[in-house]
A and B are shown apart, each in its own frame.
Chain A
Amino acid sequence: MSLRDLLRTAWRGVSTNTLRAVLTMLGIIIGVASVIAMLALGNGARAAVDARFRSLGSNQVQIGGTMTFDDGEFTQAGEILSYEDGLLMPDGVELVGSVDMSLGGSGKARFGRVTVDTPISGVTANALERVLSSGEVQPVNRSEDEAFTVDDFLAGGRFFSSSEVLDGASVCVLSWETANDLFGGDDPVGQTIWVNRGRCEVIGVIAELEMVNESQRYYANPNLGVYMPISTVIDLLYEDEPSVFITAYVTDESRMDEAKAQIREFLRERHSIEPDADGEYADDFNLTTRSDVLGQQQEAANTFSVLLAAMAIVSLVVGGIGIMNVMLVSVTERTREVGVRMAVGARSVDIVLQFLLEAVLISIGGGALGVVVGILSIPLAASLNQGMALLEPGSIPLALFVSVIVGVLFGIYPAVRAARLDPIEALRYE
């Protein structure tokens, strides 16, 4: 039989009982849809992790305090990771050349009668360079291929210097929208504003920025906030000295593990952490490098893949068994038809192909509907996963391919059974 005749015959078989065919597809639809949605979740999570840690250079060690969950709130475990820890680190650790420190918080900024709630970032002098080198944001209306300098990121004035950071100078740099909110378009540079209960001089305004990645523009606004020297923020915003976030720059990239060991030793000494009876240290800080993050990400992705594969296999097998069941019923119902076809010259392979094609039509129909349902469910999946779901384009051909395989795998037995029928018995079948 020609392929066209075969397809027509198989289609006739499926469309004869549309409801049954669609119900049979259900397992495949759910299986394929979950594969599409889960792959989209994995893809989205990976993209988000990539974006978040892109700024983490390969020669950097990020150091943060360890938090413990105590009496319903997070508290610092052991001693805080102090500003002083950071200041002394380049001298105290052989492999660390320099450090950056940062501290995030929020407060009120006031100029004249205008008060705004704003994020307040305590940072060191080259914070703007780090924002620049992260590649996550760029000045608005610029092509993303351009190479930017720090000056491109400043709308006016300057960023604060290292000595201003060390001195705890009362200076600040405003983000674009915060400057507009406070000054309504007037030039803020040289003016004095209040941040909580302290005064500081505005020495610069950051240019209007946007996320490089368009999909992130809806939920990330880089134009809000006040940047101040970290020492100033500690004085201004906190009664007790807070833990800071330290980024250490290692002088020799090939000795990252050694550098981490040195940093650990340095901080243990400063925090007086002694080994317990087993020789274990109860560190109150933790170190993260790019290879750590990549390793964790890889691990998470692998766990995800296993879960996903298990779910896909279960639903596709269930769907496949459904197809086999329906095809067995269909073969029984059409025993006489098989007999007639054999009598008028159908060979075994013709019968096999007819029923196999019918099974594949059902499974590929389920696959196609599953792809549609899967794509439609991505926004739902994203809302359950902090907006992180991105259609993995390769998942569509994969899903269709898998559904064809399921159709063939579970359709072959009923088809072969039909082809093995004795034509005489089949013709007599009532």
Chain B
Amino acid sequence: MSDEKKVVIQTDDLTRVYQIGGTTLHALRGVNLAVYEGDFLALMGASGSGKSTLLSLLGLLDRATSGKYFLEGVDVSSLTRNQLADIRGRRIGFVFQNFNLLPRFSAWENVALPLAYRRGELDVDTQRKLAMNSLSRVGLDLRAGHQPMELSGGERQRVAIARALVSHPAVILADEPTGNLDSATGREIMNLLKELHAEGKTIIMVTHDLSIARHASRICTMRDGILTEGEPTYVAS
């Protein structure tokens, strides 16, 4: 662990157990992970390996059954629902496989959404200005007034990335960001993520595609609820 690099995410023995009917499902069996500022981490694993569960925990959408999770040095396991929502809005940017933009809201309104949920800090003009900055970062400032229906898949994902960037989060969590895109558009999105990484952004990306994962600076693999550093061994490289 290098001293000059700031730890953004650190988990100690994180577990997540689901009770479904009478069966007990151990989705995470003691995950220890440290993510440093500027990391571009690809999280790989087969479906059911627990990578989505881990991403939900890291994104504060879910709580661990046991273990500790420090986000920027803060132990988040004891925070209230509302405090978690507040941290999600300010410190975490989500990018989803299916974009998850609000229909009937223009691109800039979608990008401004995390700002709108900050308690009375930003007026609409400021929200719009910050959203426009973020949109121009992904090259879509000219499409700011368009609704998601009027945008291509790649454009939608770039709007979603702009939304993730708008609050200058500590970490961007991307769940299969190219999963719904053709390979050419997927490459565009990966190039954009690499650019962001080059600018110093911290990114954690879930993918099952090794060729996508190799764009990242670091790869971890989940298997049966256990996280290991490195590419999955069962995939021929």
Residues of A whose CB lies within 8 Å of any CB of B are 1-2, 4-5, 12, 16, 336-337, 339-350, 423-424, 427
Contact = CB atoms under 8 A, between A and B. Distances in A.
Nearest to B114: A344
A427 B59 CA distance: 13
A347 B81 contact: yes
Contacts of A16: 104
Interface residues of B, number: 27
A261 to B, nearest CB: 75
Interface in B78-122: 81-82, 85-86, 88-90, 94, 96, 100-102, 104-105, 113-114, 116-118, 120
B124 A5 contact: yes
A119 B229 CA distance: 110
A344 B81 contact: no
Nearest to B100: A340
Contacts, number: 63
Interface-centre pick from B61, B94, B101 (highest chain A CB count, 10 A): B61
6 contacts: A341-B117, A342-B61, A343-B61, A345-B89, A348-B85, A349-B82
A343 B175 CA distance: 13
Given A12-B104, A16-B104, A342 B96 contact: no
Given A347-B81, A424-B56, A427-B100, A341 B61 contact: no
Contacts of B104: 12, 16
B62 interface: yes
A4 B122 CA distance: 12
Q: Which of A12, A347, A349 has the most CB of B within 10 A?
A: A347
Contacts of B100: 336, 339-340, 343, 427
Contacts of A12: 104-105
A354 to B, nearest CB: 11
A426 to B, nearest CB: 9
A350 B89 CA distance: 13
Contacts of A349: 82
Contacts of A345: 85-86, 88-90, 114, 117-118
- Residue among A2, A340, A343 with the most chain B CB within 10 A? A343
A344 B89 contact: yes
Contacts of A427: 61, 96, 100
B163 interface: yes
Given A336-B100, A344-B88, A1 B116 contact: yes
A341 B113 contact: yes
Given A345-B88, A427-B96, A350 B61 contact: no
A339 B61 CA distance: 10
Contacts of B90: 345
A350 B114 CA distance: 12
Contacts of B163: 344
4 closest pairs, A vs B, by CB?
A345-B89, A345-B117, A344-B114, A347-B85
A343 B116 contact: no
A347 B102 contact: no
A336 B101 CA distance: 9
Given A343-B59, A423-B61, A348 B113 contact: no
A342 to B, nearest CB: 7
B71 to A, nearest CB: 14
Contacts of B96: 427
A243 B193 CA distance: 104
Given A16-B104, A341-B117, A427-B100, A347 B124 contact: no
A343 B94 contact: yes
A348 B123 CA distance: 22
Given A2-B120, A340-B113, A345-B90, 6 more contacts: A4-B124, A343-B59, A343-B100, A344-B88, A344-B89, A344-B117
Interface in B172-202: none
A348 B82 contact: yes
Nearest to B117: A345
B138 to A, nearest CB: 17
Contacts of A336: 100
Nearest to B123: A2
Nearest to B91: A345
A348 B62 CA distance: 15
A347 B86 contact: yes
A5 B90 CA distance: 18
A349 B113 CA distance: 16
Nearest to B89: A345
Interface string B51-92: 000001001011000000000000000000110011011100
Contacts of A4: 124
B62 A424 contact: yes
Nearest to B83: A347
Contacts of A343: 59, 61, 88, 94, 100
Contacts of B85: 342, 345-348
B124 A348 contact: no
Nearest to A12: B104
A336 B103 CA distance: 11
Contacts of B113: 340-341, 344
A4 B105 CA distance: 15
A1 B81 contact: no
Nearest to A336: B100
Contacts of B120: 2
B114 to A, nearest CB: 4
Q: Which of B102, B114, B123, B163 has the most CB of A within 10 A?
A: B102
Given A345-B88, A347-B85, A5 B116 contact: yes
A336 B148 CA distance: 15
B124 A1 contact: no
A15 to B, nearest CB: 9
A150 to B, nearest CB: 73
Contacts of A339: 100
Nearest to A343: B94
